[in-house]
């Protein structure tokens, strides 16, 4: 698929705003509007799962942030496979991945997900959440180097310790708000990695695309917490989202991640009619 280049334009929102002033790494102060969306509680109630959703509508020179459950949005939880976004960038920077065509040979171990039982590329490993590929990256990097990279980008609590894989069963934890911060920086190619590597990771995150939009996203599941993070990209800008939910029904709850995000984005006019994800 050909790469697309996008510019920002304006959007509108409803409900009383709160204005926050935020200072970034450059020292520049910008304003963003934060709106609590109490009606989004109905989406979670219909799904019968507790959770949080942060949406940043950046289709304009100033952004609007929508939040369901602001307290939980600050809570750090296991990122599960959503860490593969950062992990891919780290592996590329460390020289463990040359490009999107490099093949990682399957070790012959039969695993529960059929798509994992074959050679992988970075694209297939991200798409199918092939854990063994990223476990290999973690072994080659080592704990100290992995944590140094996480500190460099400010990823959650920056811990690569505990039970392996550390991003699923170990000590690594990140909040929905922190996920949004990283996604926005990636969208703008502002993470401390080569621009070519950031563009490549964004390319492998494509889930679906239409004539005027692209959905870039990654799901994750720790066994008890389900994530879906990413953004919907339009010619006038992007709408970022980070959702996490409890999954008491385990795999039965996983489709609800997409259901809730889809409903929330539709409510602000940010889910294209042709999207089927």
The set of residues, in sequence order, having a beta carbon less than 8 Å from that of 189 and lying 6+ positions away, is 195, 198, 199
Question: Would you call 81 a catalytic residue per the annotation?
Answer: yes
**Chain centroid offset of residue 158 CA:** 16
- Report which of 219, 235, 215 is spatially closest to residue 227, judged by C-alpha positions: 219
Strand partners, 242: 54, 229
* CA 120 – CA 256 distance, rounded (Å): 28
DSSP string, 134-184: HHHHHHHH-HHHHHHHHHHHT-TT----BSSSTTTTBS--B-HHHHHHHHH
Selecting among 14, 15, 63, 81, the annotated active-site residue is 81
Cα torsion angle, 246, 183, 28, 54, sign: negative
Which residues have a catalytic role annotated? 81
């Amino acid at each position: 698929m050909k790469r697309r280049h996008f510019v920002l334009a304006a959007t509108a929102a409803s409900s009383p705003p709160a204005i926050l002033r935020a200072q970034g790494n450059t020292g520049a102060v910008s304003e963003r509007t934060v709106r609590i969306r109490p009606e989004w509680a109905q989406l979670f109630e219909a799904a019968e799962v507790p959770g949080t959703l942060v949406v940043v509508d950046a289709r304009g020179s100033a952004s609007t942030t929508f939040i369901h459950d602001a307290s939980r949005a600050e809570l750090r939880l296991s990122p599960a496979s959503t860490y593969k976004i950062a992990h891919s960038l780290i592996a590329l920077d460390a020289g463990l991945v040359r490009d999107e065509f490099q093949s990682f040979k399957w070790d012959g171990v039969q695993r529960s997900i059929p798509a994992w039982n074959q050679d992988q590329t970075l694209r297939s490993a991200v798409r199918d959440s092939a854990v063994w590929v990223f476990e290999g990256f973690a072994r080659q990097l080592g704990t100290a180097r992995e944590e140094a990279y996480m500190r460099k980008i400010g990823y959650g609590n920056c811990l690569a310790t505990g039970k392996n894989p550390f991003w699923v069963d170990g000590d690594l934890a990140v909040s929905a708000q922190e996920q949004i911060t990283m996604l926005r920086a990636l969208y703008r190619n502002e993470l401390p990695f080569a621009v070519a590597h950031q563009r490549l990771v964004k390319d492998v995150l494509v889930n679906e695309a239409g004539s005027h939009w692209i959905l870039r996203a990654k799901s994750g599941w720790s066994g008890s917490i389900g994530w879906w993070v990413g953004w919907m990209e339009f010619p006038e800008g992007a709408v970022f989202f980070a959702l996490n939910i409890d999954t008491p029904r385990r795999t039965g709850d996983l489709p609800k991640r997409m259901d809730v995000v889809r409903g929330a984005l539709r409510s602000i006019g940010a889910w294209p009619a042709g999207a089927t994800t």
